[in-house]
Structure 1
Amino acid sequence: MAGAKTVRVTFVDGETGRELGRSELAAEALPETFEVETTLHLGDEDWAVERAEPPTAARFVATGALTLTLRRVETVRPDGILYSLPTLCERLPPLGGPARDGDAFEIHEDDWRQVELISAELDALIADELLAVRRVYDEHARRDEHGRLYGFEAIHVRTGPDRPLPRPVSLRRLSSILPPADHRYTGVGFRNAGVIAGSFAFAVGPLVLHGLAEGDLATTLCVAVGRPGTPERLADVAGALREAMRSFDLRLVDWCRCAAVTADSIADHLAAVAPE
């Protein structure tokens, strides 16, 4: 940049088009280019440069003039942030690389262990976690004028149960109780991130059972509910799942709905949550 030459800089508010002010600045105090994202601190506020005319030092030093169109950088107060879910599982499983054929059962990271089968011997822990989720609904839910819920001011991050199946479930035995699988996936994948190491997934009617396993033994067993198809098909699958839950002494816990469902109530629950 040449000598001690100065540049007359005009600042314009990009939202209103109003001139904010002018200043004579040493050429050395200005960046070589505004073609990369640039933020200026004016007064007590930060402003992002939307447009610079001309955009490079070679040109505005030569002309001695520069016009910067700015937009105020808005900061979001923490108490203005809303969560879309009342609860999340703290721990995400590690990824093990992309599926060989791309046939993984894909879920969003936020959906991990949101509906899962848990040993009934952990009922006390389940109750404690559900109490914390209900507190989010009672104290932090935001609703519109019609009473419709649209977000939460806080979220409960579940730290337990760390081992939802203290006695792992045999996948072979589980499959023998359920109807034959309609499809077996290569694993469970987080969207655009990869496949979870040691994961499995298979579809039975409107359900996809998925989770983590060590060989034949499932250590985490989750349930995703899709479109039910015919009521008879949903009833058949629900009946088989009821028998599996009884056999392994499991509860189905739907964390976001604050529901701990017993085997005897599983058919009603699945019918209520299945998409139409």
Structure 2
Amino acid sequence: MSWFSRKVNLTLVDDATGAVFASSMMPPSDLPDSFQVDTTLHLGGDDWSVILAEPETKAEFTKSGKLTLRLRKVEMMAPEAISFSQLDISERFDDNENLGADEWITTRALNATIDNPEASGLPPLDADPEEVYRVASTLSELRESIPIEGDGVYCPICHVANIDIGKLRSPCPKCGRGLLKFGWT
């Protein structure tokens, strides 16, 4: 009999409480080869993130016949409940990876992406440029107080960003307002 035909005693532990909430005998073929990378499981209509797997690999838990997973329920949050440290975002997280110091990328206003932007500290959609820049400048000051490697600059009025943090507070190439601190991630 192949050792992959044995079942594994799977124990699921809620990381928040430390309590076992499920136990099952499962064939190893129904489990991933490894839990060494971020893993999310869909259980009973909810997503759960694997915080710790003991042991981590299929070879190990098949041999021992036991696998314990500490899981944390993935909590979704309404965008309105999030506070932001800038007014714009880029299209993708890695948009800055291939930009040179003199290249600019188009950004988009966060307040156009969520309902009730004021609840998250963002200006209303109909705010004039002076109000938008005032809010963005206040958020930039907060962001500037925290050294974050890889931050760049942006203009919340012209919706452009650049990777060169050395351009902070220098004039925007389009409107002349001082550039503000921009986080790519």
TM-score by length of 2: 0.55
Aligned with 1:190 (options 153, 170, 176): 153
Residues 12, 21 of structure 1: 8 Å contact kept: yes
Match of 1:98 in 2: 101
Match of 2:146 in 1: none
Match of 1:222 in 2: 177
Given residue 63 of structure 1, which amino acid in structure 2 is its aligned partner? S
Cα deviation, residue 221, structure 1: 1.7
Matched, 1:80 2:86: no
How much identity, in percent, do the aligned residues show? 31
Give the secondary-structure state (helix, strand or coil) at the position aligned to 1:62: helix
Deviations 1:173-206 (A, max 9, x none): xxxxxxxxxxxxxxxx63895349xxxx7xxxxx
Give the secondary-structure state (helix, strand or coil) at the position aligned to 2:71: strand
CA–CA distance in 1 between the matches of 2:12 and 2:26? 12
Distance change >3 Å, CA 78–CA 66, structure 1 → 2: same
- Note the residue ranges of structure 2 that are not aligned, 5 or more in a row: 91-95, 109-115, 130-151, 155-160, 180-185
Matched, 1:44 2:45: yes
- The structure where strand makes up a greater share of residues is 1
Residues 8, 22 of structure 1: 8 Å contact kept: yes
Cα deviation, residue 64, structure 1: 0.8
Residues 88, 158 of structure 1: 8 Å contact kept: no
Structure showing greater radius of gyration is 1
Give the secondary-structure state (helix, strand or coil) at the position aligned to 2:10: strand
Residues 10, 68 of structure 1: 8 Å contact kept: yes
Cα deviation, residue 69, structure 1: 0.7
Match of 1:71 in 2: 72
Equivalent positions of 1:97-246 (< 5 A) are 97-98=100-101, 141=118, 151-152=120-121, 155-156=124-125, 190=153, 194-195=163-164, 210-212=171-173, 220-223=175-178
Equivalent positions of 1:9-20 (< 5 A) are 9-20=10-21
Given residue 80 of structure 1, which amino acid in structure 2 is its aligned partner? A
Distance change >3 Å, CA 220–CA 27, structure 1 → 2: same
Residues 80, 117 of structure 2: 8 Å contact kept: no
CA–CA distance in 2 between the matches of 1:68 and 1:96? 41
Cα deviation, residue 97, structure 1: 1.9
- The structure where helix makes up a greater share of residues is 1
Residues 89, 159 of structure 1: 8 Å contact kept: no
Match of 1:105 in 2: none
Residues 4, 62 of structure 2: 8 Å contact kept: no
Match of 1:4 in 2: 5
Match of 1:166 in 2: none
TM-score by length of 1: 0.38
Residues 4, 27 of structure 2: 8 Å contact kept: no
CA–CA distance in 1 between the matches of 2:170 and 2:60? 63
Q: What is the Cα-based RMSD across aligned positions, in Å?
A: 4.1
Given residue 79 of structure 2, which amino acid in structure 1 is its aligned partner? P
Give the secondary-structure state (helix, strand or coil) at the position aligned to 2:34: coil
CA–CA distance in 1 between the matches of 2:77 and 2:89? 25
Match of 1:35 in 2: 36
Distance change >3 Å, CA 154–CA 190, structure 1 → 2: closer
Distance change >3 Å, CA 193–CA 4, structure 1 → 2: farther
Q: Which 4+ stretches in 1 moved above 6 angstroms?
A: 157-160
